[in-house]
Structure formats: C-alpha cells, structure tokens
C-alpha cells in the first residue's frame, strides 16, 4: 500500500503536502523513545509518535521512514514541517490516539 492510499483510506491529515505519497509503506512502529525506534523500526515504515521536536527528522532520515504520524491532533512547529518537506519525510496527523491509529494501519497493511 502506498502512503497516498493509506491517507485516503484512513483519512489522515497531510502536513507536508505531496511528500512521499507515492512511497510504499511496508510496516509501522509506535514508540516515543528514539533509541527504541533507531534500534527496532524497519526501513520503509510509518512511525507513530507524540514526539514533535526537530530531532525526530534525524531519526526518520536515518531509518528511511516514509512518514511520521502524530496522534491526537497535537500541534507541530512550522519549522519542523518545513524541514520535513525539504528532507522528504512526510508528516501526517490524526485526531485519534496512537493505539487506534496503530490498529487501523495494522489492518490496512494486513489486507494489502
């Protein structure tokens, strides 16, 4: 499933426009500890986190993360969004909590 298909299916808000919408999403990971993400996320994954500081982009770039998904409609600084666009990392947002988002993505990826 591409990120764009996922966005349409699950009605996520895209904060970075067209970035990575054509990319294939292979898996997902949920964690707010950066060491845990660095060690355990697979490449080509979406990452659900409430961390919103600029350093999440370094992690995303290093692990070839397709999109960062921010739950509960939490606010992000414009600087982070602009940097994400230039680094080609998508940032999505949703009103649901991380648990629900994970479940939805898990099922969507399982169905293919």
Partner 1 sequence: MNHLNEEAESKPQLKLEFEIKERDFSVAGEAASKVKKTLQQLGLMPEAVRNIAIIIYEAVMNVVIHATHGQLKVIIIPEQVTVLTEDEGIGISNVELAMKEGYSTAPLEIREMGFGAGMGLPNIKQCSHKLNVKSQVGVGTVLEAIVYLSSKDRKS
Tell how many helices (H) and how many strands (E) occur in the chain.
5, 5
Stretch touching partner 1 by CB under 8 A, among 7-15, 29-37, 70-78, 89-97: 29-37
Residues in CB range of 64: below 8 A, 6 or more apart: 43, 44
Q: Specify the residue, 102 or 104, whose C-beta has the smaller distance to partner 1.
A: 102
6 is a contact residue toward partner 1 (CB under 8 A):
no
8 is a contact residue toward partner 1 (CB under 8 A):
no
Stretch touching partner 1 by CB under 8 A, among 7-15, 19-27, 33-41, 92-100: 33-41
In angstroms, the CA 91 to CA 3 distance is 11
CB of 36 to partner 1, least distance (A): 7
Per CB under 8 A, the list member of 18, 62, 99, 100 interacting with partner 1 is 62
Integer angstrom CA distances of residue 87 from 2, 10, 17, 64, 91: 19, 24, 13, 11, 11
């Amino acid at each position: 499933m591409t990120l764009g298909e996922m966005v349409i299916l699950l009605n996520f808000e895209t904060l970075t426009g067209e970035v990575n919408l054509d990319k294939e999403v292979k898996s997902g990971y949920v964690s707010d500890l950066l060491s845990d993400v660095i060690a355990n996320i697979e490449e080509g994954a979406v990452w659900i986190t409430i961390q919103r500081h600029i350093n999440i982009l370094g992690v995303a770039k290093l692990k070839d993360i397709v999109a960062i998904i921010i739950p509960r409609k939490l606010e992000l600084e414009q600087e982070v969004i602009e940097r994400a666009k230039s680094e080609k990392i998508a940032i999505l947002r949703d009103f649901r909590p991380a648990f629900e988002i994970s479940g939805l993505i898990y099922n969507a990826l399982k169905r293919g």
